[in-house]
Structure 1
């Protein structure tokens, strides 16, 4: 479950501590009024935005700016990973997401040490695949009723997809159907 704790992690690790208390309160209010799915979408959008800006910093050879922007993206990935729930119901999917987030973290470290625009593009592409999946989840949750059965995520297809494809083949995740 995403909550204020995640926003705080991102605020501290992402360098947002320079904002005044009113800005932090705005993040806290948003975490209380925005759905969890929408929070995840916003975090993916933020990570993509930071990496896009880091690409420009690499082009400008502004290494300090690139470092700070990539660290903000890493803070988002770390925050998302720390919110995963591992239990019998979510185990395989949570494990796959954990591996995905760890892979992103390593790739972001690579960008910070090698100034690779190509790797930035690869990470952004992978994040967009997952962002599209979360947007699909958001659409399906908005269009369905509050029936208890409609809130159970279909784990079977996700588990089969995770088992059949290596974690670095994220293009196949676009075809996963998630029922909420």
Structure 2
């Protein structure tokens, strides 16, 4: 009960601060920032930071999945699959310290960010 009330209060207090389109842009940018931090942690052989930053990226993608409008037909279904695949890549990148997988995810999100900016 408390969690729901806290969320509602938070949502009411933050209505109008940013447009939904700007929030999606910020989430995409967040994935890129966190992936860069995770890549640095892999290079530095800092396991704790690698896991932390990778988990932050995954949390953003989970949020994107949560707000995804699947009623939009093929675009919603495509993004659902794409986001889930990016989570798989990030999980592998973290468990195997694989910078190439992080780069793959970052490239996808760079493309999504560019496309998003063009449509808004």
User: How high is the TM-score relative to the length of structure 2?
Assistant: 0.86
Taking the aligned partners of 2:48 and 2:68, their CA distance within structure 1 comes to 31
Q: Judging by fraction of residues, say which structure has more helix.
A: 2
Could you tell me how far 1:59 is from its partner in structure 2?
A: 0.6
Q: Which residue in 1 is equivalent to 2:100?
A: 118
Q: Which residue in 1 is equivalent to 2:32?
A: 48
Contact 1:50/1:73 (8 A) holds in 2: yes
For structure 2, which runs of at least 5 residues remain unmatched after alignment? none
Q: Which residue in 1 is equivalent to 2:70?
A: 86
Q: How does 1:116-155 map to 2 (within 5 A)?
A: 116-138=98-120
Task: Give CA-to-partner distance per residue, 1:14-39, whole Å, 9 cap, x none.
Answer: xxxxxxxxxxx6xx53x532111110
Taking the aligned partners of 1:57 and 1:132, their CA distance within structure 2 comes to 26
Q: List 4+ stretches of structure 1 deviating above 3 A.
A: none
- Is 1:38 matched with 2:22? yes
Q: Which has the larger radius of gyration?
A: 1
Give the number of aligned pairs. 111
For structure 1, which runs of at least 5 residues remain unmatched after alignment? 9-24, 139-180
Q: Secondary structure at the match of 1:67?
A: helix
How large is the Cα RMSD of the aligned pairs? 1.7
